[in-house]
Structures are given as C-alpha cells and as structure tokens.
Chains A and B, each alone.
Chain A
Amino acid sequence: MAELALAVALVGACVPSAPADQTTAVDVERYQELAADPWIGADDIRVARYRFGSNKLFDDGLASAQRQVTGERTDVLTAEIAAAATVGWWVAGATCDGARAASGGGVSVELVRALADGSSAVATMTVTASDRGPTPMAPAPVAPTPSATSAAAGVGDGATSQIVSVVAEVPHHSHPDPAVPDRVPVDVASLTCLGGSAGGTVGQVGAFERVRDR
C-alpha cells in the first residue's frame, strides 16, 4: 500500500504544473474577439493556454461552430464567404478535400481576420454535403399567410443540404503571429471539385500550420 502511495506521489510530481503566465490579457482579448464574432456564432470556445502535462507546449485559442444550410454547395460557400466578409474575414485560399470533394465531399476555405492587437485570426470553413437527404416538406401553417404558403411550397423539392463547419484559431501570446498571405482575390468557385479549372487548391492555405512548423 505504501509502495502504491509512493508511486502515485512520484508520478504526480512528474506532471509539470501550469506556468503562471499560461494565459494573459492578450489571450483573453483574442478570446473575446472570437466569442463576439457573429459569423462564427461559436458553439464552443476556449482561451489559449498551456497544454496541461506537456513540456512547455501551448494551445492556441479556438472557437468552433457547425450548422446546416439548405442549398447547393457552391451557393452555400459563396453565401458564407460573403457573410464572413461583412465582419472582416477575407479568403486566403481554398482546397478540395481529396477525391471525395468531386462527389459532394468537403471543400475547405481558409479565411483571415485582423485582430485589434495587430495579430490575425485564421478560420477554416469546411462545407460538406449533409446526409439527411432531400429537404422534407414543411407542414402547412395553422393560419396560412401568403408568404408562409409560398415558403411551404418552396421547400420539399429535393433541395440539397450542406453542413458548414467553422474552426477559428488565434495564436497563444507566446506564439508568432500567423504568416498571413498577401490579400489578393481568390476565386473559390474555380476549384476543380466545384466545376472550375484551377485545380485542387486556389490561393494559399495553411497559415497556422506554417507557424507551428517553426
């Protein structure tokens, strides 16, 4: 029994404690900017912090959201990009998700937004076909109005549905800022998997990965 207690104590002593500056006011401000972003509309969020138990590793701040939208994939992508642009996001690049992309699989778009402190947030938006099938018919309203009637008639026509996933990251205060590419127009619709001829990637993607590789 004593040996077991000693072993537990030794193991416990080997787990590094979190450094006092694992999260600072810089990280909190970046957290608050992600939390208040209406395009993301985060379902979950966490502040940048120490990776508990690691050897001086820190996780970036993260906000994520997922939603379902009715429409064709290209239309949904275009609409989401336009909506994101209204709050400062711009497209750095986009890529087809391998072989599945051509048959309704994922298309990933990387967007960048400037933060108030001069750093940048990077969001990866992935749009994939939903597995729910055609949109069901809407039930008739109890007291139909002209607009409600037309709305009910407009759905149930086999429209496709997409799952939009957004994961936005902001750097931990000890990490370098993301290597944001030059701001040039990126034509996402020209991706080969969306019927275009620009290939499987347009623009630049992977700003955060490049940071982590340093």
Chain B
Amino acid sequence: MSGGEGRTRRSSVVARGADRQIVAAVLEPAGGRRRGARRRAVGAGVLIAAVLGAAGCGHGVSRQHTADLLGGQVWPVGSVTVDGTTDGGRFPRPSIITLSDSGATPARAVAGAVDDAVAAGWIPVYARCAGPDDEVVVHVVRRLEEGAVAVATIAAADPAVLRHEGIGVGRPGGQDGPRTVVRISAVSSAPEDLDDDAFIPAVLRDGGPGPGAGIDLDDCLAPAAQEPGAVAPRWIGTPAVLPREGGPLPAR
C-alpha cells in the first residue's frame, strides 16, 4: 500500500522515489563479498522489490499511471492533479476540474457537455434538474484500463450560485457576464480502489457499467422538459460519486 508516501505530495515523485530507494538499497552491499554472492543478493533484492512494488501499487498500477489514464482521455481536457494526504489511511485520487462560461441555460449548457462526454465514451447514469434556470447536474462514468474507472460530474448554474458554493469564477455574472458557468469534475480511481472497491460506485463494480446502465436525459434536459416555474426537483438514475479523497478502507 502507499501508507508510507507521506503528506501532500505528487504521486509521480512518490512512486519513482520509492523504487529508487529500494533499488539503491539492493545495489549497495556491505562490500568485500564475492561476485557470485553479490549477484545472488542483487537478484533476490530485485525479486523482493518487484513483490513489494506489486503489493504497494494495487494490481501493479501506480497512482501516476491512473493519473495518466485519466489525462489521456479525449474528454475532459484539463490538467490532472493528484494532491492530497495519506494520513490516517486516506489517499488522493487523480482529478481534472474545469470551469467554462456559457450563454445558454444550465440545461442546454450541460446537454452540450454531455454530448461531448458521450462521444468520448462516457455513459450518463444520473441527472438532477428542475426548472429552466435551475442548477443541473449530470454524472457520467466510464472504465479506463487495467481495472481503473472514472466518474465525472457535469454541473451548470448561475455564476452567483457557484460563488455561494465557494467556487471562484472568472468573471462576475449579471448583464455583461456569463449566464451560466459549467463545472466539470472528473475523478479516477486510485490504486487503493483496485485492491478494494468499497468506495467505487455500484454501477462500476463487477465489470460495470453493464448494458442498459445509461439513462435517457430527454426527461431532464430537453427544452420540452423545462417547464417554467417548476420547483419540484427531479432526478433520473442513481448517483455515481467518487470524491477526490478516498479512504480509509476497512481493515481486512
């Protein structure tokens, strides 16, 4: 596991640094030994390092690798960050967060982003919406490679709402500002999630999403569904949430 990674650091440095330490330890024998014994020691050390590496990275996948898998997706486009703590059994997950302006209503702005996501292979599994100017949220999911999965939340709302939620926006709303801000937050599983899928959304467990997991968004996002003055919250499907910080996993 990665319990020894320390606090608040980038995983790439952690993984490579740990490997270097192990190899360096193996390649620095006490000295004065014969060549054959040294070879055997090196061979055993490499074997031990390989076993430790496989155990520590969960299915042999490092945190950096899962970050690369997320960053390699066609959608969303953005920088991958892997910041977080490993104190107390917690662990960070790779994530991409983007904010963009739109002149459309929240429902139309989200519909555009969902179209891009679906074209890139993501599957919508949950949507929450109400009236024509209300905040709209859609959850999309996909499998990556080597058992890794990803969840993305697409949300659109008036900029004032996002400020209320503590999310900075580039420009103020109002007459000259954007009508809607679209926020995309994509998070991929961490190596720890590959060892234990306790916190992976149900739709992505057991090789999912299976056939029929996707939802029809017309009841939520189509113009005909946007009734004026509607305040009743509506949703379709089941949420798929994967926070940027995972753990602690239950002891086994």
Contacts and interface: CB of A to CB of B under 8 A. Distances in A.
A152 to B, nearest CB: 8
A155 interface: yes
Nearest to B87: A52
A159 B229 contact: yes
A41 B128 contact: yes
- Interface range for A: 35 or more
Contacts of A53: 87
Given A35-B201, A39-B233, A23 B132 contact: no
Interface of B: 87-90, 103-105, 126, 128, 130-135, 137, 153, 157-161, 164-165, 173, 179, 198-199, 201-202, 223-224, 226-229, 231-235, 237-239, 241, 243, 245, 247-251
Contacts, number: 167
A75 B134 CA distance: 14
Most central of A83, A138, A153 by chain B CB within 10 Å:
A138
A81 to B, nearest CB: 10
Interface string A13-37: 0000010111111011001100111
Given A27-B250, A52-B87, A151-B223, A130 B160 contact: yes
Nearest to A54: B88
B224 A67 contact: no
A22 B233 contact: no
A95 B248 CA distance: 35
Given A31-B199, A69-B231, A43 B153 contact: yes
Given A49-B248, A136-B179, A69 B233 contact: yes
A68 B134 CA distance: 6
A28 B105 contact: no
Contacts of A22: 88-89, 248
Contacts of B153: 43
Interface stretch (A111-119, A139-147, A179-187, A189-197): A139-147
Given A67-B134, A69-B233, A147-B223, 6 more contacts: A32-B198, A38-B237, A70-B132, A132-B161, A154-B229, A155-B131
A71 B126 CA distance: 23
Contact of B126 (A38, A50, A79): A38
Contacts of B234: 83
Contact of A39 (B135, B137, B235): B235
Contacts of A70: 130-134, 229, 231
Contact of B88 (A43, A49, A130): A49
B229 to A, nearest CB: 6
A129 B161 CA distance: 11
Given A24-B250, A130-B164, A151 B238 contact: no
Contacts of A80: 233
